[in-house]
Structure 1
């Protein structure tokens, strides 16, 4: 007995196909017409798009502030799959004076029998040494074929020499390193000066992280990568300045894979301004990099359209406004750095990208599903509707209209970045490896069934 999805429009990056899909067990076994067999369950997708489950390659679940976790892997992945994301890749973070294996063990404990989506890890490298270099080989054997390094944050930041040596090792292994590009040393100095001058409000989070410091870090990274002659991945690109620096590096022949996030497409620096009686509300938008100007929003949208930006992820890192964000009510440097978004990404990109004619529905599938799967070694099991692929399928009714409201969200946080935004679309059905998890926007399988995905080395686009 199988499941037939019929009458829908199957979307890939190459176009739209009007055929039926047959699922048996966890896999798509056939795509065609008149493929049903006796006793197959029939799902009529008339009027809906049928798309591969989205993949969010940039999440930080289980983030702690003042001893509180807002979105655990349990709640965060429940929100993710409610919003059309069937696979996530989270960051397992090595801390100073510890090993990559210790980080992996810790993340395995957090995720065990605790995720509604399938999942994998990137490994954050914050303590570069010979042991860490050797451990990269072990991570590849465990199916972790991507790493991350930071130009900012004292507890995570590495120097240029470490970046150069890690890139050489990564090239040897055929893996990929992603980078948070902001000049951390100068940011720390600007933050010190702001506090000394009595500038404590949330807006100074943005003021002390100017786009020039994103541009500078990108320039430094691409200079190092040029010496090593290896591709790099830039996470959460936020600014037109950073985008132009990437263009310059690409003109020199460098291979750079670029990610941005919905907040850098839809929100802008005015959100840091005091509103009404609550002068602290800008703390909701304290994330790094910070929000930029509206011109940057448009530059990044155009970058997606042109294929210069490859992935739209979320950088979901949820902290509650009350208690957690309020840790910095008298000092913006103490505001926990991060924001939620995993639940809203799919519909936001559809509503403000596809419906506004900034991108096509095919491009949506490319940047939310296909490219992430290809880059990070999940393709063709994930990211595409194809015979032999995992039956991670989203049936999306494009006409349903709703308003984003934090009180109704699944993600376990007390606000929403996009409160009051109109969004279009309804998830009629969402399947994870052939299991029906969501029906008409409701979780119908209450047991987390996500599996760890041991990834291959990715394909550089």
Structure 2
């Protein structure tokens, strides 16, 4: 007998299909037991009537920053994960950050796991930010982490405390190829940014708007081309995170047409926000600091349209929030960039909040009768199924099928929300004091969020129903390639040439 049953007029949406009403989902012990019609039930069976609404897999947000040392005023695990489930996300992958002075990654992984344990409303895992990839770490500690279910790393090509040089990048990529961990890369040219920043500062151009001027698209374009070249040389799959530039995206697209395993990610801020948001107003000239993130917001609506094309045509594998919040009205938050009345954008913590608004913002443009920008199936691919595949959660997360965790988002019947939902800071559940999407109207919002068969969010009846001990650490397997394939030769190199030096 099923211990929970979701029935009546629901449209089940997976990465490949939208199933007609009449299909029921049977759940037992937190797993999807079966899909069918007229499933058995008794008086103890909980029944949820979807009322003709869409049901999608629980969101997998594969790029969030919770309780990191470099963001002391940002979300902790309680507030960040609470915000996630209120927006339909049941799994988050956050970051544990190694310091350049550390000769081991084990202490930082242990510390970050301790911070999350017993304090998460949703399921979670970790990526390791590698800043000092010593031979011992790569040969001894990375295999250990992989055995413990931490199977992905993030590399930076910019930010002095984090960035790696090309030789370091190559060494990590070669280790990734051998060990099978997933490699994420923040691709911006550090020297371009540093030079422009110093010259802007010398000229007195230091208010938040000049953050966008200091990081031109060509900095992203060059670094993207370079990391693709390094990945091709080493025959290593990569994912380039938070892309914002059309030319950089075209580099990815061309690599994909050659069947290279180059994955890409973009985020809501690069679909909806422009650099004009970095300008202040008469009431608060510093307010643009709220939207300082890297890569920066771009200048032209055509830049937004380019990212939407990448969403629709399959260039992007994942759509994440890059939830990287700092409180605005706090001396240790965004106001670090305002001292004695002088604005200095280089001191403003980077990042914007968005884990709660990610799914509603994208769902707003999925499967519309008019002005649709992507299909409902593509929505599921970007927000659930593909990140689950890429990061070693396939078979557990990201799909509505027997054997998967019963993580579900039940949306409102659209007739109930004819005027849509206004995004307002006062209604959100994160721990920061603003949202960059204030006042935007979306056509729907999760009515219920279900985590492993448990109703943890009910928008109409109390909101948050889950607790901070509901989330569990996910021991992930090795991710699989979603785009392209390995084993190809590099043009201009002899067959087997890598064997001489790999």
CA distance in 2, matches of 1:354, 1:275: 37
1:377 aligns with one of 389, 392, 397: 392
Q: Indicate if the aligned counterparts of 1:146 and 1:177 stay in contact, CA closer than 8 A.
A: yes
CA distance in 2, matches of 1:97, 1:64: 15
CA distance in 1, matches of 2:164, 2:78: 31
Alignment of 1:406-421 (within 5 A): 406-421=425-440
Q: Give 1:275 deviation, angstroms.
A: 2.7
**Closer, same or farther: CA 380–163 of 1 in aligned 2, 3 Å:** same
Superposed CA deviations along residues 398-447 of structure 1, whole A, max 9, x for unmatched, are 52221111122111111101000001213222111111111126011234
Q: Give 1:364 deviation, angstroms.
A: 0.7
CA distance in 2, matches of 1:249, 1:25: 43
Q: Give 1:234 deviation, angstroms.
A: 0.4
Secondary structure of the 1:236 match is coil
Alignment of 1:86-125 (within 5 A): 86-98=90-102, 99-125=104-130
| CA RMSD between the two structures | 1.4
Q: Which residue of 2 aligns with 1:127?
A: 132
Instruction: Name the structure where strand makes up a greater proportion of residues.
Output: 1
Which has the greater radius of gyration?
2
Q: Which residue of 2 aligns with 1:325?
A: 334
- Residue 140 (structure 1) aligned with residue 146 (structure 2): yes
CA distance in 2, matches of 1:58, 1:313: 6
**Closer, same or farther: CA 232–389 of 1 in aligned 2, 3 Å:** same
Superposed CA deviations along residues 340-362 of structure 1, whole A, max 9, x for unmatched, are 00010110001144443000111
CA distance in 2, matches of 1:453, 1:64: 22
Q: Indicate if the aligned counterparts of 2:252 and 2:263 stay in contact, CA closer than 8 A.
A: no
- Residue 69 (structure 1) aligned with residue 73 (structure 2): yes
Q: Give 1:162 deviation, angstroms.
A: 0.6
Q: How many pairs were matched up?
A: 460
Q: Indicate if the aligned counterparts of 1:63 and 1:317 stay in contact, CA closer than 8 A.
A: no
Alignment of 1:414-429 (within 5 A): 414-429=433-448
Alignment of 1:138-287 (within 5 A): 138-287=144-293
Q: Which residue of 2 aligns with 1:437?
A: 456
Q: Give 1:16 deviation, angstroms.
A: 1.1
- 5+ unaligned residues in a row in structure 1: which ranges? none
Q: Which residue of 1 aligns with 2:14?
A: 12
**Closer, same or farther: CA 22–54 of 1 in aligned 2, 3 Å:** same
**TM-score (structure 1 length as normaliser):** 0.97
CA distance in 1, matches of 2:258, 2:212: 31
Q: Indicate if the aligned counterparts of 1:65 and 1:319 stay in contact, CA closer than 8 A.
A: no
Q: Which residue of 2 aligns with 1:368?
A: 383
Q: Give 1:455 deviation, angstroms.
A: 0.6
Q: Which residue of 1 aligns with 2:347?
A: 334
